Amino acid sequence: MGEYAGLGDVSGKRVLVRSDLNVPLDAERTITDDGRIRASVPTIRALAEAGARVVVVAHLGRPKGAPEERYSLAPVATRLGEVLGAPVAFAGDTVGESAHEVVAGLADGEVALLENVRFNPGETSKDDAERGAFARQLAELADAFVSDGFGVVHRKQASVYDVAQLLPSAMGALVSTEIGVLRRLTEEPARPYVVVLGGSKVSDKLGVIDNLLGKADKLLIGGGMVFTFLAAQGHEVGKSLLEVDQLDTCREYLKRAEESGVQILLPGDIVVDTEFPAGERTPQPVVVPASQIPADSLGLDIGPASAADFAAALADAQTVFWNGPMGVFEVPAFADGTRVVAEALTRTRDHGGLSVVGGGDSAAAVRTLGFDESTFGHISTGGGASLEYLEGKELPGITVLEG
């Protein structure tokens, strides 16, 4: 008893777990989507049941290396305890007096959460010495380390990278699952292999498009990034989001796809409105051909014919990776494209295929639109980390564990 993969007997040991608990909160500091908390619980529970004294470290938002009340993890500690079904002690700092007191008070099988790790400048410092000094303070609180925050493994930060060099370390179940799925997407994926990319900007997805043009069979492009592709083809895009500096890049991608036999599918119709955000005004969606967007309008979703085309292109897929919504899904008038694509992904497993929702806004859309998460093959907890892996980049938080 007391075993945890890679660490041996953890009973009675203090185990520092780097989780990703970066959840969205509203103005009243109420958690609006607890998906990342729920995803973190299995590893924390396994360690607690093995008799470890579990010390969870995580971040929330982007504080500038100093405490900010709006980024406190206090509401997360409460919700973590509810999901875990056991009380979670909360330390009012990360490595100070409160942290030491709370950790010292843990009994075997109990769990504590430290205050936001990014309240400390050493966490995200580019200076190796400063980051290392903070990692040593974290390591003083533990006997072993488990890396389970997939959303941060692409960051060279103290609680992700440096502390793993100071303590006996292992990969948590969540990170292990994520890496296993990403390997299936990159190492001889089952075909047809279809990639669906959305979101606002082409520039956010340059590396992944570049890499996947040599691996995927089809690339379906929606969201705000579509308008730079349409403009690259010479179409008017009105007031739609446009990255002028990426026009040549988009032309190059279209040319490369044609030469390599990869099908890039762009929407043939677009849902537009003359204003966004609409404020008090009721949205007035109009469907127009993608080649005829009025000068006074902006595109806010792919059109119904395009959504049907995308669903048809996904119908026989054996492997699907989806990152980025097809439109402004938070507004019901502009959510249909994202909904239709998500529905198509839920049918992938009907013929033995793998559908992967690549974190970030895509995962939020699945939950916001009311889908049953279990109908997807895998919903990633880390959009940025997933994309960097698919770009072929090394993830520091993974290489430090494998080294």
- Nearest one of 306, 362, 313, 305 to 193, comparing CA atoms: 313
Instruction: Please pick, among 38, 136, 184, 201, the residue that the annotation labels catalytic.
Output: 201
Sign for the CA dihedral angle at 233, 237, 241, 245 comes to: positive
347 is in an annotated binding site: no
Instruction: Please pick, among 13, 14, 18, 36, the residue that the annotation labels catalytic.
Output: 36
353 is in an annotated binding site: no
330 is in an annotated binding site: yes
116 is in an annotated binding site: no
Sign for the CA dihedral angle at 53, 59, 63, 68 comes to: negative
Both structure tokens of 69? 């009340």
- Nearest one of 318, 377, 365 to 341, comparing CA atoms: 365
**Spatial separation of the C-alpha atoms in residues 118 and 157, rounded to whole Å:** 10
Location of structure tokens 């049907």: 308
Q: Which residues does 183 contact at the CB level (< 8 Å), separation at least 6?
A: none
**Spatial separation of the C-alpha atoms in residues 375 and 346, rounded to whole Å:** 5
273 is in an annotated binding site: no
105 is in an annotated binding site: no
Residue 209 CB-half CA count within 13 A: 27
85 C-beta neighbours (distance < 10 Å), count: 8
198 is in an annotated binding site: no
CB 293 within 8 A of CB 235: yes
Residue 97, judged by CB atoms within 10 A of its CB (0-12, 13-18, 19+), counts as exposed
22 is in an annotated binding site: yes
**281 labelled catalytic:** no
Instruction: Please pick, among 6, 92, 109, 384, the residue that the annotation labels catalytic.
Output: 384
Location of structure tokens 């008799």: 51
CA angle 137, 106, 121 (to 5 degrees): 25
**38 labelled catalytic:** no
Rg, Å, the chain Cα set: 23
**384 labelled catalytic:** yes
CB 172 within 8 A of CB 42: no
Spell out where 291-373 has E strands.
298-302, 319-323, 354-357
**Spatial separation of the C-alpha atoms in residues 306 and 301, rounded to whole Å:** 10
234 is in an annotated binding site: no
**251 labelled catalytic:** no
Instruction: Please pick, among 360, 377, 383, 397, the residue that the annotation labels catalytic.
Output: 360
18 is in an annotated binding site: no
**Spatial separation of the C-alpha atoms in residues 366 and 341, rounded to whole Å:** 10
60 is in an annotated binding site: yes
**Spatial separation of the C-alpha atoms in residues 141 and 342, rounded to whole Å:** 43
Please state the residue numbers annotated as binding site for substrate. Answer: 20-22, 36, 59-62, 118, 155
Binding-site positions:
20-22, 36, 59-62, 118, 155, 205, 299, 330, 359-362
Positions marked catalytic = 36, 201, 360, 384
Enumerate the known binding-site residues for ATP.
Answer: 205, 299, 330, 359-362
